[in-house]
Structure 1
Amino acid sequence: MKPLLQNLAEMTAHRDHLRLEVSVLSTLAQQGRNVNVRALEIFVHRGETLLRPRSWSTAEGRIVSSDCDPIEDTQAVALAQLPELAQCIAREGKSAERIGPDGRHTLWLPVWLGDRAHACLEITQPKRLTRHQRDVITGVFLVYQNYQSLLDYSERDALTGLLNRKTFEEQFTRQPPVAAEAVGEDTPGNWLAAVDIDHFKRVNDRFGHLYGDEVLILVANQLRTLFRSQDRIFRFGGEEFVVLLRAATLAQARGALERLRASVEAHAFPQIGGITVSIGFAAAHGGAPVEILGRADQALYYAKENGRNQVRFYGDLVESGQLRARVAHDEVELF
């Protein structure tokens, strides 16, 4: 029992979702001989629910993790190909299992956050799990899920449920690197957008903060709906949101942000009526996170000062001479 308690202590010492995931897989892999474990990420792409292995145990007993974007992972499969797991998730169940033609036994444990299963732990071994193994695995899993929920709560904005500002830099550094010279109108890159609700102070002053909060929640819902699972959406406080678009071309990024702008403009907000948003975005390379964010903010401020309700790209504004590029010098930006 001592090694298990040590593993649990190590598991709950982490403050990072991926390290926590690796730690729980390491703990589960020690619960029997020839036990294989995987953490499967669940995501939606083009309307289809898919799974892909995000972390897994190797033949040498190590736990390794994938660093590629979900939609580019060649190991991704449709959830429908695992009917037992698909049925379990559909009924919001706690576990599913299958005995394969070779007699191998697989146990799946969906990881729920709210009403959505965003991941699943998979335990496979040559024979059926004993009752003791199942009890230990279930106990470890419950500790893991509860602790992950606490981590997620600390990383989320309490009002909208979006990622909060303190998680931005970590999420930014996790994105796959893209060579600056490779990014163009038709080649994939990463982009950072700053989104600001126009005249939001007037909404609070005229209708009160409860209606203002409802506007923030509804805009956050539109952000979730219009962006992909591999993109990251943050609320930076007040009426400002930030979107990190991954593996998109400049044309795709511009189109997605324009769709957001048009969707907000067309939406009838209860009591308030119509509102608009201004958006500035920049390429997410060639500088530290704070520099990239500063470029997106420059484009945003230009949009707000020149009519609002528009999308502006930092690169276009610099190229046309409407903005001057900031010159970075170590930790100081010179204007």
Structure 2
Amino acid sequence: MDGASHSPYPHYSWFAVSRTMHAHERPAPFPLRQVNHVLFHAQSERAEVQWICRGRERHFVVPEQAVHFAAADGEEHVRIARVARTHRYLMMLIPPSHLEQIVASEGCDPPGNLQPMVGRHDPVLQSCLTRLAAIRLSEEACSSLSEAEASRQLVLRLAELNGCGRPDWSRDESVFDARSMRHFVDFIDANLRLGPTLEGMGMLIGLSPSHFARKFRLSTGLSLQRFVNRRRVNRSLEILRTKPESLSSVALDLGFSSQSHFTNLFSSLTGMTPAKYRKQFGRKPGGTGEGVRSALKSRHRWRRERDSFPEEWPHADESRPGGR
């Protein structure tokens, strides 16, 4: 948890990953330490998914256009997908504070145990994820209003599906408007290596450093430094997918103090190391690799030692106590 406050601009610190799988690919374990809420959106064809955590194993099918939601729990998870045809999916990582603190801001208790959703066809979630994918993964400039609206609706819908009241975003006071916020984000993204300062950012709009810091935190839910580091990690996702630069070069180019600082922050925000991310999503084809072999060994060990799964994950459409 970042200790972030309620913010109308949560989407600037989300992480989006898009991947295409082909039928001829050998199913490979995808390990992830789940420090974020995770939404998988199957954008084409269906996939058979094997989900393993703490020795417990779950099998389910995610149909085309369906959404699979898993809440952050800090545990190590392994996802193995099998496809009969080309399967494209989006993975959206959302910090827990953006759901829990929005609910708390409405005077409600945050849900203690978010329910997983498997294969849910929800028009609101599907529409929001489709729009966010088109915006976040596009290399062209995009409308910040469209992105803000889609992310807001996504958070509201997730809260609603978990039996929480709808947040009233109109309560926010003394925040930057969407146009100013977009200007700040563009400036930060253009100066990641040097690192924007409160003094420099305040000068852009004629505010003192302390006044800018307070208003920026109200607008984003994060301090300027934490926000900048999230944008650095966000930029690193594309670099790791598309370029062969060493991790030390990536860290230096993005303004991290060291490769270890970059690795630690990347892991804490995404649930995997930069090297593991590049191996999973990089464009260059790779072999099975030591990391995958290790995950396979762990999977077989889990299968030998696991207890029977105490109960099936409930389907999202099933009713549950405390739900809608």
TM-score, normalising length: structure 2: 0.28
Q: Please state which structure has a larger fraction of its residues in strand.
A: 1
Larger RCO: 1 or 2 (CA < 8 Å, sep 6+): 2
Output the TM-score relative to the length of structure 1.
0.27
Q: Which has the larger radius of gyration?
A: 1
